[in-house]
Amino acid sequence: MAKILIIEDADELRDMMTTLVERMGYEVIVAADGLEGVKMAKSDQPDLIILDLMMPVASGDLTLGYIRSTEGMKDIPVVVVSAHPSARAIAEKLEAYCIEKPFGFPELKKLIDRILQPQVEE
């Protein structure tokens, strides 16, 4: 079973994403800020990270930059979920996917499935 790390400081949104991702059949681990998220990414080695950009302690862009520059984590797919005006540009620069807030859960589900269950080409 694939493991997804959700790094989101908004309790309600983090809880809703956790419920959605668990219902999709994935194992979920959560962090409330970027520093905690980096520690969990190092120790738990998730298959995918869902990351907010605007967070306390360590912002999402700094967190993503650290992940992309750290051996053992740099190849983990990351989905940036943010209302930040530069979210797409930041995600593109740091080789991440992006979904702008507010977003629909079907959109998030489709992207997670596409990343973790790619179609086998014949």
Q: Within a domain: residue 121?
A: no
**Dihedral sign for Cα atoms in the order 85, 116, 57, 70:** negative
Amino acid at 56: P
Q: Within a domain: residue 9?
A: yes
* pLDDT band (50, 70, 90) for residue 120: very low
Q: Within a domain: residue 35?
A: yes
The range of the structural domain enclosing residue 37 comes to: 3-116
Structural domains in the chain (count): 1
Q: Is the pLDDT of residue 14 over 90?
A: yes
Q: Within a domain: residue 122?
A: no
Q: Within a domain: residue 22?
A: yes
Say how many C-beta atoms besides its own lie within 10 A of residue 101's C-beta. Answer: 15
* Span 59-97, pLDDT tens digits: 889 999 999 999 999 999 999 999 988 999 999 999 999
CATH for 104: 3.40.50.2300
DSSP H or E stretch at residue 117: none
Give the integer Cα–Cα distance in Å for 2 and 66. 22
Which of 26-30, 53-57, 61-65, 69-73 is predicted with the least confidence, judged by mean pLDDT?
Answer: 53-57
Cis peptide bond prior to 46, omega within 30° of 0: no
